[in-house]
Amino acid sequence: MPPLISTKDRSRYLIRATGARKLTDIIDELKNDSTVELLDTLGPANQPHTIVVAISHDKAHSLEQRFATSQEFKIEPDRPLSLFGKAEIEDE
């Protein structure tokens, strides 16, 4: 899971709930972890479905393994969005 957007030793990752499960428990846990920077929450007020965090690759891998066991959450690198695909830009 190589990160694309990096600052210092941390990279941006998305953590999302896989169902109707709220992220509040994981948000509370991560807020108390000095190795995690909570950057943003996405979704309705008080019911976020996705959070954006800045964490190390090792921490992301650890969370990925933990989430694979519970299957309640998914984690993935926060990749930049673009209007056009790379192939289209190269053809112009």
Domain CATH code at residue 12: 3.30.70
Number of domains in the chain: 1
Q: What's the pTM value of the predicted model, to 2 decimals?
A: 0.76
Which DSSP symbol is given to 49? S
Spell out the alpha helix ranges (H) of the chain.
24-31, 57-70, 86-91
Tell me what pLDDT residue 1 has.
46
Report the relative pairing of strands 10-17 and 37-42 from DSSP bridges: unpaired
Tell me what pLDDT residue 34 has.
92
In whole angstroms, what is the distance from residue 53 CA to residue 12 CA? Answer: 6
Residue 25 resides in a domain: yes
Residue 73 resides in a domain: yes
Residue 80 resides in a domain: yes
Residue 50 resides in a domain: yes
Q: Judge contact between 31 and 37, C-beta under 8 A.
A: no
The whole domain housing 67 covers 6-91
Instruction: For residue range 64-78, list pLDDT tens digits in order.
Output: 999 998 888 999 999
Residue 1 resides in a domain: no
Instruction: For residue range 17-37, list pLDDT tens digits in order.
Output: 887 667 888 888 899 999 999
Residue 11 resides in a domain: yes
In whole angstroms, what is the distance from residue 8 CA to residue 70 CA? Answer: 30
23 versus 92: which is more confidently predicted?
A: 23
Tell me what pLDDT residue 20 has.
63
